[in-house]
Amino acid sequence: MDAGPLVLEDANPRRHPVEVPMPADFDDYWAEAEAYLDREAPDAQRVAFPERSGDGVEVAEVLFTSAGGLRISGWYTYPSGAERGSLPGLLLIPGYISDPPIAKSWAVAGYAVLSIAPRGKVRSRDVVDPGYPGLLVDGIADPRSATYRDFYLDTVRAFDVLRSMPEVDEDRVGVHGSSQGGGLAVAVAALRPDEVRCVSAGAPYLCGIMDSVRLTRTYPYQEIRELLHVHPELTDTIARSYAYLDCINLAPRVAAPTQIYIGLQDDVCPPETAYALADAMTSPVEFLAYEGCAHNAGLPWVASRIDSFLAEHLRPNSAAEREADRSGSNA
């Protein structure tokens, strides 16, 4: 039987240095951004989707208000019959060109899951649509008008909304994603350090952003190269803007245990940047590097490691345990 690619837990392909300047007003920038988000009440709305529910899983659409008053949507899935405050929560963040899945498999495993569609995806696309390619560079000349800043804030607001769901134990909520989802999982943990219990980040994007432009010839980072080809005079301005958004600068804020997994042949999110991310973190890090794997970051071989990591920190109950809890509460 094929055991899959080699897992190099201590591998280190530091072929190229990754350096991200830290703006002097970095903390002020994010405090201002969070204050901007706080101007809007979440006003969360939950709409059941019985036609999508079944086999022990409930499905609902959740809508809420985020930065700038924009309504954001996501799919909320959880085990049928869950008691109040009984489930760990898991926020799923999509990749750059992905829309959120209805995550029934995670619900079957005992999680309450919010699979989020930040601005520019699904229902908000009619209001915010930078196109593809475009999100990475939209408004980037000014870090305070960058669409991506508010995209980050959408994921933070989604985390807060998930914690407020009645089935969720607010002290057992984690974040998971790959590529863009991996980078933003780190960002959410950095901006909610006291609330996030664990982070699982595959092939993390948005790390060493300007170095990634140098190390790759693929999208989405190619968007930056194309912009600078037309406007080379903006190079320093754009580099400064990305320094505020770079997850390597956010990483020291993360307090939660973090799992990072990558493919050593990834030509979308350079492995060097993932190592730099891990180096910047002060929380415990499980780092998995898969030889022979590209942007899939070791899937499917890493899947069981993800399951184990999340279960260790979020402690979902089995279906039998959930049924016993329901029977006991009805006795």
Q: Which residues are catalytically annotated? A: 179, 266, 295
Beta-bridge partner residues of 71: 65
The number of helix segments (H) and strand segments (E) in the chain equals 11, 9
Q: Say if strands 71-79 and 57-65 run parallel, antiparallel, or are unpaired.
A: antiparallel
For CA atoms 170, 34, 124, 182, give the dihedral sign: negative
Distance from C-alpha of 331 to C-alpha of 319, rounded to nearest angstrom: 18
DSSP state of 98: P
> To which residue do tokens 């590097």 refer?
289
Rounded to whole angstroms, what are the CA distances from 119 to 41, 64, 147, 238, 262?
17, 12, 9, 21, 26
Rounded to whole angstroms, what are the CA distances from 175 to 15, 91, 125?
30, 5, 24
Q: Which residues contact 131 (CB under 8 A, 6 or more apart)?
A: none
Distance from C-alpha of 35 to C-alpha of 49, rounded to nearest angstrom: 33
Q: Which residues contact 60 (CB under 8 A, 6 or more apart)?
A: 46, 47, 48, 49, 75, 76, 77
**What is the DSSP annotation of 254-293?**
--S-EEEEEETT-SSS-HHHHHHHHHH--S-EEEEEETT-
Cβ–Cβ < 8 Å for 161, 114: yes
